[in-house]
Amino acid sequence: MKEKRAQDPNDPVLPAVEERELVYGGLEAGLGEVFEVPIGPIHPALKEPIRLTFKVRGERIVGVQVRTGFAHRGIEFMGMRQGRNLIQILYLSERICGICSISHPIAFTQAVERAAGIEVPPRAQYIRVIISELERIHSHLLWAGVAAHELGFDTLLHLTWRVREKVLDILEELTGNRINYAIPIFGGVRRDITPDQYPKVREALRYYRGLLNELLDAFLRDPTVEARTRGVGILEPKEAEELCAVGPTARASGLRKDVRQDRPYLAYPDFEVKAITPEDYGLTPMGDVYDKIVVRLLEVGQSIEIIEKALDNMPDGEITSFPKIPALLAHLKKAEGEGLGWHEAPRGEVIHYVRLVSGEESPLVWKVKAPTYSNLMSWYPMFEDQEVADIPIIAACIDPCICCMDRVYLVRDGKEEILTKEELLRLSWEKTRRMAR
Amino acid sequence: MIFKTLLSQALSRPATNKFPAKYMPRSILGFLAKVQEGKARIHPPVPVPPKFRGKLAYDREKCIGCQLCIRVCPAKVIEFLPEVKKIRIHVARCTFCAQCVDACPTNALSATPEFLLADTDRNSPNLIVE
């Protein structure tokens, strides 16, 4: 394939990639020919559909172009216009991401609670925190396994995923399902943590506490992992800040950025969460893949501490301020206003915006921002001057969740459109006018 | 580092539960046919916790036909039968959130621990609760 592939303009599946000046990617002319390597949208190496077009010179990547929009599901549209009430939309929001399946409902319930003026009892806040931290343990272990798999170290993948089973069992014990826990509801949670479940959770936490050093050993003191990840996919702190990276991706570059620390919500002020960077492990942050492994594994330890503290200081009382569903539905129907909800998902910051109108069961506006949306741009500096063999691990190191991120896809008259900045601005003005009415 | 773990793994039992049979049968379909005839037994799956949300159970006598479950169901699983003022649940579409169980004012609905629901027909009697 030559640099400029002859593209059929009528090709309906893969429309012509817009040739743009790359912000990052150093296209200086040099020796050797530049080839274009398209990966995706459907590719055996990808778990989710996305199109990455690499410009390579020999084994070096000189440029990358990311194209998304292949997995748009229109979840917000289903919530806003299809006559669903907010309780039904809650379960829809849970299915935005299969792995962060409490992060999105927590952000969504917070947004609705702020809009409708609903108080959450302290015990319910603690239960939400416990479940979301358990989810962080499971998600980070899942990512560590995937990272090992992308490095070609499948023994480590199976080892990590075997120990991950324990936290899934605990989540099943507490909520009723291994994933899609369905635990938060507006004004509280649906299931209480009963006294006989405390020892089981504590036992699992002991198990992980003992295991954490073993995992850190297996990942960080292993010469193979170090050789494959040190200096690979570097994201400088300045770039991370400029490109608005969030979550472990930003923290691995040394930015102390964590929603739980910067804008505490629910019961998080009680735990005084501090953002974790590789400095806490005695390393200078480089922002490479190794640092991302460090941050995620240390966050497993942080989550264990938070859950232990939460179990020790669990307040008594109600778990929901609306025990009767008809009363809740009536209150939500009367509610009017707008609300913003946020949560530090395992991958970074999730934001939900909701605007309720009195007399309507479904919200007028529901906007979702998934963490991968913020992190995707950091691929550009990360891929710069890397080797082709490192593509899978660099792509995986931001823990991408493509389906959560694909939030907008514009098709007009059967044709896909790419909007310019001015057009987007105009659309946002129109939307503001429509909402102000 | 990892060799020690690997050696200990070689000596320990597998972490997974053998299902549906303890040893690999020569033919899975033949084994399942034998199970149906009562000649063989399925090796039981891992027991589920008490809060587990499985297939819904419906107590027709307790139902008052208030349709609250239909209002909260996110997957539109529940069909109302206006003549008898009762409901019919299509389990094939159920997302197992058990919100209807929470909403039911007379406790006519409950979540059972049953989860082996694979079927070739979405309208098979196994997947319709009424």
A217 touches chain B (CB under 8 A): yes
- Interchain CB contact of A191 with B (< 8 Å): yes
A222 touching B (Cβ < 8 Å): yes
Q: How far apart are CA B122 and CA B127, in angstroms?
A: 7
Specify whether B99 is located in the same domain as B69: yes
For CA atoms A187, B98, B103, A340, give the dihedral sign: positive
DSSP string for A319-361? SBS--SHHHHHHHHHH--EEEEEEEEETTEEEEEEEEE-TT-S
Same domain as B61, residue B102: yes
| pLDDT value of residue B124 | 87
pLDDT at A32: 66
Top-confidence residue, B15 or A233? A233
Residue of A nearest to B67 (CA): A326
How distant is the Cα of B54 from the closest Cα of chain A, in angstroms? Answer: 9
How many cross-chain Cβ pairs, A to B, lie less than 8 Å apart? 67
At residue A15, the pLDDT reads 39
Q: What class does CATH assign to A1-71+372-406?
A: alpha beta
Q: Could you tell me if B59 and B117 lie in one domain?
A: yes
Distance from CA of B41 to the nearest CA of A (A): 26
User: Can you give the pLDDT at residue A279?
Assistant: 86
Interface test with B, best of A88, A90, A171, A179 (most B CBs within 10 A): A88
Count of domains forming chain B: 2
- Domain check: are B34 and B57 in the same one? no
Does B52 sit within 8 Å of A172, measured CB to CB? yes
* Interchain contact, B5 vs A159, CB within 8 Å: yes
The dihedral of CA A38, A41, A44, A46: what is its sign?
A: positive
Contacts of A180 in chain B (CB under 8 A): 95-97
The interface pTM score, or ipTM, of the predicted complex is: 0.87
Kindly list the residues from chain A whose CB atom is less than 8 angstroms away from the CB atom of residue B49: 172-173, 176
Query: Which of the following CATH numbers is that of domain A119-321: 2.70.70.10, 1.10.645.10, 1.20.120.1200, 3.30.300.30?
Result: 1.10.645.10
**Angle, alpha carbons A125-A127-A132 (nearest 5°):** 95
Q: Name residue, tokens 């503290």.
A: A309
Domain of B88, in residue numbers: 49-130
Q: B90-117, pLDDT tens digit by residue?
A: 999 999 988 999 899 999 999 998 888 8
Q: Name the phi and psi angles at B124, rounded to 5.
A: -65, 155
Spell out which residues of chain B touch residue A155, defining contact as CB-CB under 8 Å: 2, 6
Per-domain residue ranges of chain A: 1-71+372-406, 119-321
Q: Is the pLDDT of residue B70 over 80?
A: yes
Please report, to the nearest 10 degrees, the dihedral formed by the alpha carbons of residues A393, A397, A402, A407 taken in order. -150
Q: What span, in angstroms and rounded, lies between the C-alpha atoms of B54 and A268?
A: 32
Whole-number pLDDT of residue A127: 92
| Closest chain A residue by Cα to residue B66 | A326
Suggest the residue from B2, B5, B6, B53 to mutate for an interface test with chain A (most A CBs closer than 10 A): B2
CA nearest to B115 within chain A: A177
Contact A91 B99 (CB under 8 A): yes
Total residues belonging to chain A: 437
- What local confidence, expressed as pLDDT, does residue A23 receive? 38
Q: What is the pLDDT of residue A132?
A: 92
Report the phi/psi class of residue B123: left, alpha or beta, with left for phi > 0 and alpha for psi in -120 to 50: alpha
* Tokens at B79, concatenated: 């069909």
Interface check for A154 against chain B (CB to CB < 8 A): the answer is no
Question: B-chain residues within 8 Å CB-CB of A91?
Answer: 74-75, 95, 97, 99
What's the helix, strand, coil split of chain B in %, to 5?
30, 15, 60
pLDDT at A339: 92
Q: In terms of domains, do B25 and B63 share one?
A: no
For range B17-36, the mean pLDDT: 84
pLDDT along chain A (437 residues), means of 10: 44 42 43 80 83 88 86 84 86 88 92 92 92 93 91 89 90 88 90 90 92 88 88 89 90 90 90 88 87 92 92 90 90 90 92 89 88 89 88 88 79 73 86 78
**Distance from C-alpha of A288 to C-alpha of A145, rounded to nearest angstrom:** 17
pLDDT band at B41 (very low <50, low <70, confident <90, very high): confident
Tell me whether residues B74 and A84 touch, CB distance under 8 A. Answer: yes
Q: Residue B52: its chain A contacts at CB < 8 A?
A: 172, 176-177
Q: Which two tokens stand for residue A426?
A: 């105009």
Q: Contact A165/B98, CB-based, under 8 Å?
A: no
Sign of the Cα torsion A371, A374, A376, A381 reads negative
Instruction: Using CA coordinates, name the residue in chain B closest to A215.
Output: B2
